[in-house]
Amino acid sequence: MPSHPGRRRTSATTESRATAVTAESTETFADLVAAEDVLLFVNAAITSTGQREFHSGEDEQGLSLGFLHEYLLGNYRDLYAATLALDVNDHNAALIIRNLLVTAGEADPERRRAEGRLIARRLALLPPPRVYRLFRELRRARINNRRTRAIMRDWLAARPDLAFDAVKYRGAVKTAFRHAHLEPRGELGTFLFAPRRKAAYATPILESWRQAHYRQEAIYDLPYTVAEGFAAKHGIPRAAFLERIAPRLTRLERLRLQESARALKADAVRADLTAMPLTRLASYVLGLPPDDRVRRRAELTEALRAAARRTAGEQAGRWGRVAAVLDDSFSAYGSAQKRRRPLAVALACHFLLEALASRYTPLWLSGRSDALLVRPYGATPLGERVLDALELGPERLVIVSDGWDNAPPGLAGEVLRIWRTRLDPDGACGVVHLNPVYDAASFDVRRLVPGVPSAGIRDAENLVALVELARFAEGRTGLPELRAHLAHRVTDFLDAEPPETAGRVADEGDPAAGAAGEDVRRTPREDARRTPGEGT
């Protein structure tokens, strides 16, 4: 890797690829380097959240990830922006948006317009707390140009119920309005900046917030996270509070509270597990004691399979014979910040591959055959399991592991190298390694062998798209093909139907009572400066 973002990186992998390139194809070699750089960044942006992992600390993760952002932004700005259309995680999507806005002066007007469309679309998909946190970071960084204010104004105008946001994220909403030089209309402005001034509010949720200070009944008309504080203030027993607030809970809040509510016998808090996202559901299952998993085996298995079938969609049953090597070694525990996350990804991938395949064979490193009872334990005999999988003659082999092969070290890489170069040079069996852990030291996910593509994965829901993207890492395609793939993804991303709740992912299930944008008004100064198409 270079010592600073202005220098381009070469590696042993790209140099080995270059031996197959003729002397006059210098541009092709540069394209290979660029394609590898982009794939390196995408792997990091999918897997890393800057938090501690099993083999590296939070500081290492943050420094390594920050360097990659700076490097790709400095060398391939258009491709850097295009990654917003890929399955990068929310942490990195917010970093990309921030970096594009901070360096807006380095792009020409046409490039800024293209970036503005990608930013607006991605903001609409991010959870509101993440967006408000981004707005606060922009304020601290003193990024307050007209383009940034326009993007903030348009996002706020698209919110389905700003009064709801004002109650749930009051401080963040105030910061956003101030930074964007906006005047909230009517009662919203009073609530944000002088909430005790009015004796009563006409907006129901604002009035419920006012009454909740002295009347217990009013707290059950508020969002759960706000009502919880009022319940503690009024001394309401936890079980009684959960029973009454249950209709206001979002889908994910129900999942998080279900076990504690069960212990309190608050039966109204019960999540519909079959409707949960696959990886989130896998994390929930792994958080249950083994005895509970055994007792609820039928319920949990059906829920996981239903989520997997929903995720597979039209691809269900079309992948032919599939073998999977799944890592449940001790390092699959992850860290205190990402507890059991690698194992949850492996469990979710197991059920998704079962739905995708016409014939499926899972091979857990521990030798377990009961996926519902997997736990992070033992060494990582990856090579032995890869040998077992290849002996089955599958059409696809999917390896889900952090890549730390240590029993014995390096066996998996050697097995795959011999398989690819001598036994299956034509690639009759497609092999792909999906890694849920970012390796800060190598600026990438840990790879098994150069001839087998490795891709970062955070959620099993992205498995199909990642297997497609991983083919670019085999070195058979270069930058033109990668650019074409990104352009196709960007087009699909921008043309997709906007989310009904305008980015209210975290608030799913909450009622939206207001008309979009009805409480946002530009100041006279902003009206005078407004230009057509600004912010897009």
Q: Where are the domains of the chain?
A: 224-272, 278-476
The pLDDT, as a whole number, for residue 98 is 95
Least Cα distance to 1 among 474, 440, 482 occurs for 440
- What is the rounded distance in angstroms from the CA atom of residue 368 to the CA atom of residue 217? 51
- What is the rounded distance in angstroms from the CA atom of residue 171 to the CA atom of residue 156? 14
The pLDDT, as a whole number, for residue 471 is 67
What CA–CA distances, in Å, run from 70 to 33, 75, 98, 104?
Answer: 17, 9, 12, 14
The pLDDT, as a whole number, for residue 475 is 52
Asked if 58 and 337 touch (Cβ cutoff 8 Å), the reply is yes
pTM score, whole prediction: 0.82
Asked if 245 and 230 touch (Cβ cutoff 8 Å), the reply is no
Cβ burial, residue 154 (10 Å; 0-12/13-18/19+): buried
- What is the rounded distance in angstroms from the CA atom of residue 286 to the CA atom of residue 11? 39
Residue 439 zone, left/alpha/beta (φ > 0; ψ -120 to 50; rest): beta
- What is the rounded distance in angstroms from the CA atom of residue 205 to the CA atom of residue 496? 32
- What is the rounded distance in angstroms from the CA atom of residue 245 to the CA atom of residue 223? 9
CATH topology of domain 278-476: Rossmann fold (3.40.50)
Residue pLDDT tens, the chain, 536 long: 444 444 444 443 444 444 433 333 444 567 767 778 888 899 899 998 888 888 788 888 889 999 999 999 999 999 999 999 988 999 999 999 999 999 988 888 899 999 999 999 999 999 999 999 999 999 999 998 888 999 999 999 999 999 999 999 999 999 999 999 998 888 899 999 988 888 889 999 999 999 999 999 999 999 999 999 999 999 999 999 999 999 999 988 998 898 888 888 888 888 889 889 999 999 999 999 999 999 999 999 999 999 999 999 999 999 999 999 999 999 999 888 888 999 999 999 999 999 999 999 999 999 999 999 999 998 888 999 999 999 999 999 999 999 888 888 889 889 999 988 888 888 788 899 999 999 888 888 888 888 788 889 999 999 988 887 776 665 555 677 778 878 888 888 888 766 554 433 334 433 333 333 345 555 544 444 443 334 43
Least Cα distance to 379 among 368, 365, 396, 398 occurs for 365
Which 3 state secondary structure label does DSSP give 349? helix
The pLDDT, as a whole number, for residue 73 is 94
Six-digit token string for 275: 């409707």
The pLDDT, as a whole number, for residue 372 is 94
Six-digit token string for 107: 């792009």
The pLDDT, as a whole number, for residue 499 is 58
Asked if 70 and 5 touch (Cβ cutoff 8 Å), the reply is yes
- What is the rounded distance in angstroms from the CA atom of residue 444 to the CA atom of residue 329? 21
Which 3 state secondary structure label does DSSP give 231? helix
Enumerate residues 6+ apart whose C-beta is below 8 A from 50.
58, 61, 62, 65, 91
Asked if 435 and 47 touch (Cβ cutoff 8 Å), the reply is yes
Six-digit token string for 366: 């521990």
